[in-house]
Amino acid sequence: MTNDCLFLWLSNILLIMSIVIEIGRNKEDLKEFLPASIYDTMIIYAIERKCLMFFSPFENFMFNAVPFIVMTFFVIIFIVFFIGIGKSISENIRNSKMEEITIPARIITKRIHVWGGHGNSSAHTSYYVTFEDENVERKEFSVSDSFYSMHAEGDTGMLTHKGTRFIHFERDRF
């Protein structure tokens, strides 16, 4: 077939499709109204042109559902992101309103949390120290790597903190 014949043939198919659309929008009506070869050709053309919407609401499901699912996914990510930022801001505001407290305490545990380092990203290390005060109440604080390396479990001294924020630990001298 030449391009002109193909164009004429497709334009006739489109004309028939528009007539069929006016007659009825049900796929079963189409099968009864058209010969099988023309019906199959119309389906192929409609799929190629992404104009299959008039046949059935379920045949275009992926074109409607996927954008909805993707949008819902990103909305959930943004909500979680903003909740995390909100919690961080509220904790910082609460800590800044509290007064600094200095209490006698003892280091009971130290731990390291390493995260990242997959593929091309670098690894990050967070250092934590758990203190126990005279009332046997435990508090864990994020500390710097230098503080972590200079202190050992069992060290006693005066812990200064402001809410959940670690300020200073002055170790007892013997």
Query: Which tokens is 104 given?
Result: 């006698």
Residue 76 lies in a domain: no
CB 106 within 8 A of CB 130: no
Alpha carbon separation from 1 to 32, 87, 112, 124, 127 (Å, rounded): 28, 68, 73, 65, 74
Tens of pLDDT along 80-102?
Answer: 999 999 999 999 999 999 999 99
E runs forming strands in 58-149:
101-116, 123-133, 138-143
80 within some domain: no
pLDDT-derived band at 67, boundaries 50, 70, 90 = confident
Same domain, 107 and 156: yes
Give the C-alpha separation, 101 to 163, whole Å.
Answer: 8
Write out pLDDT tens, residues 141-156: 999 999 999 999 999 9
Same domain? 50 vs 103: no
Q: What pLDDT shows up at residue 120?
A: 83
Tell me if 66 is assigned to some domain: no
Is the pLDDT higher at 112 or at 55?
A: 112
Mean pLDDT computed over 33-49: 58
Q: What percent of the chain is modeled with pLDDT above 90?
A: 48
Number of domains in the chain: 2
Check whether 103 has a pLDDT greater than 90: yes
Which of 141, 110, 108, 142 lies closest to 126 in space, CA to CA? 142
| Domain ranges, residue 115 | 98-171
Please report whether residue 33 resides in a domain: yes
Instruction: For residues 165 and 109, state if they share a domain.
Output: yes
Q: Which residues of 34-61 are buried (b: 16+ CB within 10 A; e: fewer)?
A: beeebbebbeeebeeeeebebbeeeeee
Boundary of a domain, candidates 59, 86, 107: 59
pLDDT class for 55, splitting at 50, 70, 90? very low
The whole-number pLDDT of residue 17 equals: 63
CA–CA separation, 76 vs 16, rounded Å? 45
pTM value surpassing 0.85: no
Q: Please indicate, yes or no, whether residues 108 and 167 belong to a single structural domain of this protein.
A: yes
Q: Mean pLDDT throughout 13-28?
A: 59
pLDDT at 39: 59
| The predicted structure's pLDDT at residue 119 | 79
My answer on whether 55 and 102 are in the same domain is no
Distance from C-alpha of 19 to C-alpha of 28, rounded to nearest angstrom: 15
Query: Could you tell me if residue 88 is inside a domain?
Result: no
Between 35 and 139, the higher pLDDT residue: 139
Torsion from C-alpha of 136, 139, 143, 149, nearest 10 degrees: 30
